[in-house]
Structure 1
Amino acid sequence: VPVGGCYKLIDIPMSNCINSGINKIFIMTQYNSASLNRHIYRTFNFGNGINFGDGFVEVLAATQSPGEAGMNWFQGT
């Protein structure tokens, strides 16, 4: 979701975490999150001048496999 032109909604909690010294961050995404994954990679990659020290930003994607009992595929909430 764009906020203020070039920012996305995810940038607000990410900025809060980084400025609070939280440098080990997991982001849980839902179905069809390619644009969010691309934004996270471009904005918060380690070679981009952002110092995470021993930290990281890890995107945990929804599993694209049959759900419980093999009946339905994950479709998000």
Structure 2
Amino acid sequence: MLGVNRFVAELQSHAAFTGCTVQFLTSASIDDLSPEHTMVDGVKRPKEELLGIRTVRQLRISKSRGSAALGGLHQYRISGRH
């Protein structure tokens, strides 16, 4: 795990220095005590559910350090509009 901790810490410092935002994407399920979860500022988990013939997409905000983000499930729609 030390390698993961070091990698995330170095990436965070590079991102802070350049003023950019970094998103880690994973298909793995991580728990709240994993190094990835404890070192990041925010955790967003997409969810998709089929209700009848309609697909409902939700984004779960389970962690948002240093902001007044509203946690919980938030529905969203993907469309071709800009």
Task: Give yes or no for TM over 0.5.
Answer: no
TM-score bucket (shorter structure): 0.3 to 0.5
Greater RCO, 1 or 2 (C-alpha within 8 Å, sep 6+): 1
Whose helix fraction is larger, Structure 1's or Structure 2's? 1
Whose strand fraction is larger, Structure 1's or Structure 2's? 2
TM-score normalised to the size of structure 1?
A: 0.38
Larger Rg: 2
